[in-house]
Structure 1
Amino acid sequence: MSEHFLVTGGNRLEGEVLVGGAKNSVLKLMAAALLAEGTTVVTNCPDILDVPLMADVLRGLGCEVELEDSEVRITTPAEPKYHADFDAVKQFRASVCVLGPLVARCRRAVVALPGGDAIGSRPLDMHQSGLRLLGACSEIEHGCVVAEADDLHGANIRLVFPSVGATENILMAAVLARGETVIDNAAREPEIVDLCNMLNEMGAKVSGGGSSTLTIQGVRKLEPTTHRVIGDRIVAATWGVAASMTRGDVRVRGVNHKHLGLVLDKLRTAGAEVTPEVDGFRVIQRERPKAVNFATLPYPGFPTDLQPMAIGLAAVAEGTSMITENVFESRFRFVEEMIRLGADARTDGHHAVIRGVPVLSSAPVWSSDIRAGAGLVLAGLVADGTTEVHDIFHIDRGYPRFVENLRGLGGVIERVGSE
């Protein structure tokens, strides 16, 4: 049996939705628990499929992990195992974030090459080169990343691209290395800042979070902590775009609106009234959205994770929009599914040109990744009839209580099983 969504279009979204902890942060914070013996507690965890998957990875490394409501308790042994099991790791990309902590704690790591979303090439070259500069040997052997070090020492490391994953792995390895490490051209995402804050709570000495230069003074030992995950800006923005597409009125709570500066500006350009609030923001779209151009870039640019939502908005906007994908080359697979729904779209290299139509047409469509799945549901909300969205397990990996939240805003959606 597999499940799919039935999404019936035509309803204006109205109401309030609460956003949980950030998927792109919680999994890395769970991995950081490997750096300290004892019990680390991570709160405000989202109820998504990837959290228990990461718990399985950590259990395979010798940790005891308890999941209860929005809290995860991770008890790390004095000597964690260093081999991350293939069956657990292959299911999602973020599992590779155990590489840095394992090298730091065990001085050795064997991590199966991870799986995850089909959005393009995401090699581990920068992860490995950073670990080598810290004193580790690292190779790909039999489908695994193998890293080993007799000693880790500080280094000056410049990333060729501000990769989030490479920044995280190098950062978590460097906190227990001798001396000072400087990471230039580091990723600046709020989730990186969240990780830096948790590491400092554990006794690390990390400065520069949120800038392109991270400075780490190595320490001998870290201690467990209790840390609250920041709100998920991608989920929050998804609801904001949904309000604009459906000409709705939605208040989004549980997120720092400053983490979405450019995204909210784009919604204003589309004609929405956007009001920042203490714990979120409100989006009101009274008329048909206007066409807006988008170009994805590392933070603080427009997030690649929101590219499908940008395409969905453009598909029903008045005028012609150009979407430029600068991060993941395969994300435009989403456009093929949008064309099934009647979108007037064409792609050329890393550009997509979308001519907006008043209403999309319902059809069966398939999710290729988390964000594409959510984008297809949003498109179904502005299509005539009922749209079938298949492979929805992707959506469950990134959006907690997706059906309940959408229904709470007045959307018509049903989860059904199929042979």
Structure 2
Amino acid sequence: MKKLVIEGNKPLNGEITISGAKNSTVALIPAAILADSPVVLEGIPNIQDVHSLIGILRDFNVAVSFEEDEGIITIDPTNMISIPMPNGKITSLRASYYFMGAILSKFGKGVIGLPGGCFLGPRPIDQHIKGFEALGATVRNEMGAIYLTSPEEGLQGGRIYLDVVSIGATINIILAAVKAKGKTVIENVAKEPEIIDVCTLLNNMGAKIRGAGTDIIRIEGVETLHGCRHTVIPDRIEAGTYLAAAAAMGERVLVKNVIVEHIESLIAKMEEMGVDMEIGEDSILVKKSDNLKMVHIKTLPYPGFATDLQQPLTPLLLKASGDGTIIDTIYPKRVNHIPELRRMGANAKVESDMIFMQGPNKLTGAEVTASDLRAGACLVIAGLMAEGTTTISGVEYILRGYDHIVEKLTALGADIRMIEED
């Protein structure tokens, strides 16, 4: 059992460099298997999800090397084989579902166990399946494993309208469609930067995809894809997490390797709260910010306020004066951080999936548990703000998505350490 122990109320100073985007990386790695020669990905974060994906690739007989210090992963799918993976490693990771589209595209058939990951309420894959079927695939769900088969003549391009804006379905259908014959048009797609990143990689591999970042993506099928080099975009959620920590406890913190356009909705909310920031080309300087005022947050698909940032921002909101609310329209059940914050003295409650807060709050250290990745980030920031010692269990969730979080925060002056308990 790993736990994080934080001695709180220490000022933060210095600079922090944001790693490559987790939510891009977990799609780029499955996308790379569509090549017929090696793909080199740069800027890859050293997180548990990446190691899980590497394990899955090796089960498929893909040659993989990961230079962890450099953040470079080399994926050689030349000798890849399609083996059924109804359970095991593949079910422990949410993003493993991208292997559905990739395997279907590469081999015309496959068996993939339904994915796991953080539990955030219902996250159905019906839109993924709808997309595969529109391309001519047969999809069966048997005992929690998805059986995919394409017709003898292969997948055929089609027109697909997504009933809900889904990042996962958008990427999965793109992966399935890049080698389908003819044209595919996908409407009402997600516009997240991570989708543009995946399409950039695929286009560098020889795919013909247009419209990434807009409502409609058009794909002209190609017969083969080749290897290439690609650098992953910086992680906008990690950037937002450290900006929230810097605003809560920083005196002068420079957050580097940021694409500012990707977090404009967060920056706007922080400015509305009164956080003192200097926005640079690819960095943001956060200065000591007192007398913050409470705001209302409503999460929406990109470019709206990211669902992944409402939990990390909550502790900062608790420091502000006034009444505030958080409504998560993407994952309404994403409220498990609130009972944990209440243990630390937060004046916050949940009613009908809506979070109500009153501030300002003085937090005190407590024993708390992370229920998912971003709830873990929330509790880390709360621990930095609190008087006394905070001990966080459920650390494995945090390590799934934050590269060297202990080292990065320690470098800023935080008193945080990882301990192992039996």
TM-score bracket for this pair, using the shorter chain length:
over 0.9
Structure 1 distance, partners of 2:279, 2:174, is: 32
Kept in 2, the 8 Å contact 1:64–1:76? The answer is yes
AA of the residue aligned to 2:14: G
Q: Could you tell me which residue of structure 2 aligns to residue 185 of structure 1?
A: 188
Q: Could you tell me which residue of structure 1 aligns to residue 55 of structure 2?
A: 56
Q: Could you tell me which residue of structure 2 aligns to residue 86 of structure 1?
A: 87
Deviation string for 1:78-134 (max 9, x for gaps)?
Answer: 553142352111221011111101111101121101110021111110100100001
Structure 2 distance, partners of 1:333, 1:358, is: 19
Kept in 2, the 8 Å contact 1:5–1:388? The answer is yes
The aligned length equals 418
AA of the residue aligned to 1:16: E
Q: Which moved more, 1:124-133 or 1:142-151?
A: 142-151
Kept in 2, the 8 Å contact 1:128–1:139? The answer is no
Q: 2:209 aligns with which of 189, 206, 210?
A: 206
Q: Could you tell me which residue of structure 2 aligns to residue 21 of structure 1?
A: 20
Q: How does 1:1-400 map to 2 (within 5 A)?
A: 2-69=1-68, 70-77=71-78, 80-84=81-85, 86-150=87-151, 151-400=154-403
Kept in 2, the 8 Å contact 1:192–1:210? The answer is yes
Secondary structure class of the residue paired with 1:147: strand
Structure 2 distance, partners of 1:175, 1:140, is: 24
Secondary structure class of the residue paired with 1:248: strand
Between the aligned residues of both structures, percent identity stands at 36
How many Å apart are 1:383 and its aligned residue? 1.0
How many Å apart are 1:37 and its aligned residue? 1.5
Structure 2 distance, partners of 1:119, 1:404, is: 28
How many Å apart are 1:279 and its aligned residue? 2.0
Structure 1 distance, partners of 2:372, 2:120, is: 7
Q: Which moved more, 1:271-280 or 1:360-369?
A: 271-280
Kept in 1, the 8 Å contact 2:346–2:361? The answer is no
AA of the residue aligned to 2:214: S
Residues 85, 66 of structure 1: alpha-carbon distance in 2 compared, 3 angstrom cutoff? farther
Q: Any gaps of 5 or more consecutive residues in structure 2?
A: none
Structure 2 distance, partners of 1:285, 1:240, is: 12
TM-score by length of 1: 0.97
Structure 1 distance, partners of 2:361, 2:399, is: 29
Structure 2 distance, partners of 1:176, 1:394, is: 35
Structure 1 distance, partners of 2:83, 2:122, is: 26
How many Å apart are 1:172 and its aligned residue? 0.7
How many Å apart are 1:276 and its aligned residue? 2.0
Deviation string for 1:333-358 (max 9, x for gaps)?
Answer: 11111111111111112311111234
Q: Which runs of 4+ in 1 moved over 4 A?
A: none
Secondary structure class of the residue paired with 1:81: coil
Secondary structure class of the residue paired with 2:92: coil
AA of the residue aligned to 1:135: G
